[in-house]
Structure 1
Amino acid sequence: MTQMRISEAARLLGVSSDTVRRAVEAGRLTAGRDVGGRVVVEAIDVARMAGEQAPSAQAEVGPVGTSSARNQMRGIVTRVVSDRVMSQVDLQAGPFRLVSLLSTEAVQEMGLEVGSVVVASVKATHVTVGLPG
């Protein structure tokens, strides 16, 4: 299962690292330790939490990589619905819920699943999804 550091979860949720630590202590997020001994949380729990808090989120979003598309937002995948040809990928980017339709082949190649951290690039009338990095 995908895991992320507390600071990354905080950025995606638009909250402080202390808020994420309190969510771990309250049992709302599952935590463990990575190979370096750092505390990490389960990305699927962060995705769930992002969806729950979406209406009140105030996270900053903006350029996150190099691309000709200027409207880029880092987010977390909250749902993937696929058939043989096409997939619907829902993501939460701060207070924004975005939905992208892309080929199932692309979803499989990128390994997209609930909890995946992605970058949504909004250009004209469509949303493209890519992996951060």
Structure 2
Amino acid sequence: MIDGAGLARLAQERAAEDERSVDSGPPISVRNAFTRIVTALTVDDVVAQVEIQARPHRVVSLVTREAVEELDLAVGVTVIARVKSTSVHVDRP
């Protein structure tokens, strides 16, 4: 359990990290990006379902098992969900 004040500090720290990382990395065309934590991960032989809690919204992305392994995704890992139209792209920061 995390108290409200502790959670607020964590959110502020993460926001500051997000601001510092905005200009790093290659340019991208996807504008709607949510840096959040993986809350559920279901992996099959070929495909995987990644769930991310983005404030009041639950973002779900279907990706390949290979992508999960390459990104080293697991519950509790911080990821960036990039949403463009009907596609959700999941990256590691």
| Unaligned ranges ≥5, structure 1 | 1-9, 19-61
Give the whole-Å Cα distance in 2 for the aligned partners of 1:97 and 1:117.
Answer: 15
> Do structure 1's residue 123 and structure 2's residue 84 form an aligned pair?
yes
What does 1:71-90 correspond to in 2, within 5 Å? Answer: 71-90=32-51
Which is strand-richer, 1 or 2? Answer: 2
Aligned partner letter, 1:119: I
> Do structure 1's residue 99 and structure 2's residue 60 form an aligned pair?
yes
Equivalent residue number for residue 17 of structure 1: 9
Give the whole-Å Cα distance in 2 for the aligned partners of 1:90 and 1:17.
Answer: 24
Give the root-mean-square deviation of aligned CA atoms: 2.4
Identity %: 42
2:83 is paired with a residue whose SS is strand
1:114 is paired with a residue whose SS is coil
Aligned partner letter, 1:113: A
How many residues are treated as equivalent by the alignment?
77
Q: Deviations over 1:43-91 (max 9, x none)?
A: xxxxxxxxxxxxxxxxxxx986452101111110011101110000001
Q: Which has the larger radius of gyration?
A: 1
Give the whole-Å Cα distance in 1 for the aligned partners of 2:76 and 2:56.
Answer: 16
Q: Deviations over 1:13-45 (max 9, x none)?
A: xx4228xxxxxxxxxxxxxxxxxxxxxxxxxxx
Equivalent residue number for residue 70 of structure 1: 31
| Unaligned ranges ≥5, structure 2 | 1-5, 11-17
TM-score under structure 1 length normalisation = 0.52
Q: Deviations over 1:85-113 (max 9, x none)?
A: 00000011222210000000000111000
